[in-house]
């Protein structure tokens, strides 16, 4: 009789303890978060929402410097390679090159030659620049608002990942592939 009770208690614990642990985690009484993440960009927590039209696409946003030098051209070329490497997900991604001020960027023709599909936009009122500085701050990047920074935006125009100037396009590619794979599973 004692052995039967012990078996019944073991079975109840086997099913009950995970439920109790899930309830504690959901309620906030038990806070467990992983010590590290696998993303290579800096996570923006909480995400910053931009007032941009995304057409329900993921966005790669790049802050153009006042004059696009060789390093800037390398960054834009790297973003072109990331866009091309997306393969079957390519139509779900748009690249936006953002310049400050209301006037068109002086190097816009040269930048369009790198990839004619890239959108060139201006930030006339500085509202996007302010929001992107906040995203950099939330991501913990010291060089907040540095031109030549890149960002990944979800289809709802939320900045979720930030990359400081001098970023590695392969890091964006790996993060973006992971995001697109997981978002496709939700569809």
pTM of the model: 0.77
Rounded Cα distance between 33 and 41, Å, is 18
- Which element (helix H / strand E) includes 44? strand 42-49
pLDDT in tens, 73-118: 999 999 999 999 998 889 999 999 988 876 777 888 888 888 888 9
Q: Which residue shows structure tokens 């467990």?
A: 32
Model pLDDT, residue 79: 95
The Cβ-side half-sphere exposure at 100, using a 13 Å CA radius, reads 16
Per-residue model confidence (pLDDT) at position 141: 85
What's the half-sphere exposure (Cβ side, CA atoms, 13 Å) at 153? Answer: 28
Buried (b) or exposed (e) across 163-186, using 16+ Cβ within 10 A?
Answer: bbbebebebbbbbbeebbeeeeee
172: pLDDT confidence band, cut at 50, 70 and 90? very high
């Amino acid at each position: 009789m004692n052995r039967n009770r012990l078996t019944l208690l073991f079975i109840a614990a086997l099913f009950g303890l995970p439920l109790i642990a899930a309830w504690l985690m959901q309620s906030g009484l038990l806070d467990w978060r992983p010590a590290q993440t696998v993303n290579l960009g800096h996570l923006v927590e909480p995400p910053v929402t931009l007032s941009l039209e995304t057409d329900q696409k993921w966005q790669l946003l790049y802050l153009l410097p006042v004059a696009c030098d060789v390093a800037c051209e390398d960054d834009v070329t790297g973003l072109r390679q990331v866009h091309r490497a997306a393969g079957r997900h390519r139509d779900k991604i748009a690249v936006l090159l953002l310049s400050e001020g209301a006037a068109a960027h002086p190097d816009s023709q040269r930048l369009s030659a790198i990839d004619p599909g890239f959108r060139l936009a201006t930030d006339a009122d500085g509202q996007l620049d302010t929001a992107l500085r906040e995203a950099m701050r939330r991501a913990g990047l010291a060089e907040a608002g540095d031109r030549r920074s890149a960002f990944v935006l979800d289809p709802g125009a939320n900045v979720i990942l930030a990359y400081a100037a001098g970023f590695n396009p392969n890091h964006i590619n790996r993060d973006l592939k992971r995001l697109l794979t997981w978002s496709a599973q939700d569809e």
